[in-house]
Structure 1
Amino acid sequence: MKDPMVLSDAQQVIGRRWSEGQTQEQARIFGLARDTLDFISATGQWYSFLDFREGHEVRSSTMTPEECAPELRELLSKTERFFRSLLDDPASAGEQDAIRAILDALRFISSTCQYESLAGFLERVESNAPPMVVAAFETSAQAESWLRNHPSPPVFADVLIGDRYHDVAYDRESNFRRLPWNRDLERYLGWLEMNDPPVASASFATREEAQAWLRAQSHPPLRTWVLIAGEFHLAVYHPNVNHRALYPLSMALRDA
């Protein structure tokens, strides 16, 4: 596997330029670059991105660019122009490789016409929704079968098995495949409790009642707090996999 730290290095370039005094336009440009890199990781497209950077053809959306989000297309173009201008900036000495990675990430989205998927990801970011998952399974056996038969597993992405998050570990050269569990959800719940203290939007006597309510929502929110038998739960909708879940706040990892 080529060094995936290239995405981390690119994020550091963005972080060094982020400041409290930046203009709103700069914030939009830096934010889009940051979120585009995160999108590639969260959707497990590292190998597709690597192939794109090496000049190989990658599968694109069936939609034409004209059908895709025009405002996002315009902002992507503006962001690309900004980072392209940094390549010749003396202040960017030593950062050219990371800047090229940012430019390639922006071009990857445009070339594969993933505007709508990226727009959905940006909505999740703005809503402080739970970490994105690329698949959801009831049992480990289902997940293992999916991983075993997948032609190109989404490396670095998260999947749900029951109510637990798991990493997709995959190495293309050795065909190594695993689904180790992680604590992304628990850390997220701890962070959310601190930054958006729970206020219930609905209350239920039993989990079954809450599940029925969540299933009945035609357009469920990405996340909302509910009470079940007096205990806070986060009701979550993962639209990209059409999965609805209830996570008890008691799962949260809190800073000591």
Structure 2
Amino acid sequence: MKIFETLADASQVARSRQRSSAASGHEEEGELWRYLREITDFIHQLGQAYRFEDYLQGVSLTSSPYVSAALDPRPEVSSRRAMALALKALAEAHSPEQARPTLVLLNLLNFLADTAQIDDFEDFFTHRLDYAPLAMASFATREEAEAWLKGLEEPLSPARIIVGDQYCLAWYSREDGSQDVSRDFTIEPYIEELTARGIPPDSPAFKSREEAEVWLAKHPASPFAFLSIAGEHYLAVHHKRLKRHTLHPVELSLREWAEWKRGSERLPAQRGKIQED
């Protein structure tokens, strides 16, 4: 679990510096720290923690910092400005322990550049609130997803995928070799919030899913849209990266979400009772 702790420490340092910059009135600097912090989210959501761990084997976290030649050389570009900020923070560090999280952030940026992911991250960073929660792949069935996971040459840390119409987590543990695909309640909080605001009375209505999908192909949700199929309300979610929509039955989704939350609340209480016994 070392790489996940490393990423968590780096994210925490970036968040702290972001807040400090904002409190000092340095909004532009704070935004660059947010840029660096959200790289850790991007890495997690695409299941690339182990891939980054392997990348770190080729760079030093103690000597002079490496700066990728693949970074855009223009000083006004966000990635180059973020790198300059990280290098400045690194130069001001008073100890190797203090420098290490900043080196990790710096190398996350190098990693994106060296693996040609800067543009994808820029899109993620700029439009995060405009897109549905990120998923890295889509499968018709759980069996397909499990076969894909098993066949990966590169070890995958937890990453969101779509199976049918459900968000799931595909995960692999490098430590013990275990792996699985499990349900992930990612979209349900959105359904709860959007439903609480009220389903528009003029939402489009269709007789079948096929009709709805034909309409959505010409009218992509941005990223969410309510519609009804055979009298039942659905939330359509547009996955731009995957070039598809998922359709989530509102009533069933809210019921399953409520059951999951109740189960999550019972777990700590049960653990506490076991400890008392």
TM-score, normalisation: structure 1: 0.79
Q: Secondary structure at the match of 2:2?
A: coil
1:43-84 deviation digits (Å, cap 9, x = unpaired): 11112211111107xxxxxxx959x8x889821111111122
1:18-45 CA distance string (max 9 Å, x none)? 3354444124302211221111111111
- Secondary structure of 1:180's aligned partner: strand
- Shift in alpha-carbon separation, 1:108–1:201, aligned structure 2, 3 A: farther
Give the counterpart letter for 1:5 in structure 2.
E
Shift of 1:189: 3.3
Equivalent position to 1:145, from 147, 151, 154: 147
Change (3 A) 1:72 1:6: farther
Q: Distance in 2 between matches of 1:224 and 1:200?
A: 15
Cα distance in 1 for residues equivalent to 2:2 and 2:244: 33
Note closer, same or farther for the CA distance 1:88–1:72 as it changes in structure 2 (3 Å cut). Answer: closer
**Aligned-residue identity in percent:** 25
C-alpha separation between the residues in 2 aligned to 1:107 and 1:205? Answer: 48
- The answer to whether the 8 Å contact 1:198/1:225 transfers is no
Other-structure match for 1:108: 111
- Partners in 2 of 1:98 and 1:73 — Cα distance? 24
Letter of the 2:132 counterpart? P
Deviation at 1:152, TM superposition (A): 1.9
Give the corresponding residue for 2:268.
none
Partner of 1:3: helix, strand, or coil? helix
Q: Which runs of 5+ in 2 are unaligned?
A: 60-68, 263-277
Cα 1:199/1:18, change in 2 over 3 Å = farther
- SS of residue matched to 1:4: helix
2:178 paired residue number: 176
Query: Is residue 2:68 matched to residue 1:79?
Result: no
* Cα distance between partner residues in 2 of 1:112 and 1:72: 21
The worse-fitting range, judged by mean Cα deviation, of 230-239 and 114-123 is: 230-239
The match for 2:169 among 157, 167, 170 is 167
| Partner amino acid, structure 2, of 1:81 | A
2:48 is aligned, of 41, 45, 50, to 45
Cα deviation for residue 231 of structure 1 reads 5.9
- What is the CA distance between 1:200 and its match in structure 2? 7.3
Cα–Cα, structure 1 residues 189 and 84, in superposed 2: closer, same or farther, change >3 Å?
A: farther
- Number of aligned residue pairs: give it: 243
Tell me the distance in 2 between the aligned counterparts of 1:47 and 1:97. Answer: 18
Instruction: Please give the alpha-carbon distance, in whole angstroms, between the structure 2 residues aligned to 1:11 and 1:232.
Output: 39
Equivalent residue, structure 1, for 2:247? 246
Judging changes above 3 Å, is the alpha-carbon distance between structure 1 residues 173 and 11 closer, same or farther for their aligned structure 2 residues? closer
Return the offset for 1:105. 0.7
Kindly indicate whether residue 234 of structure 2 is the aligned counterpart of residue 233 of structure 1: yes
Which residue of structure 1 lines up, in the alignment, with residue 62 of structure 2?
A: none
Unaligned regions of 5+ residues in structure 1, if any?
Answer: 57-63
Q: For residues 1-256 of structure 1, what are the structure 2 equivalents within 5 Å?
A: 1-19=1-19, 20-21=22-23, 22-55=25-58, 65=70, 74-89=77-92, 95-127=98-130, 129-172=131-174, 174-190=176-192, 199=200, 202-208=203-209, 209-217=211-219, 220-228=220-228, 233-250=234-251, 251-252=253-254, 253=257
What TM-score do the two structures reach when normalised by structure 2?
A: 0.73
The CA RMSD over aligned residues, in Å, is 3.3
Does the 8 A contact of 1:167 with 1:180 survive in 2?
A: yes
Check conservation: 1:167, 1:181, Cα contact below 8 A: yes
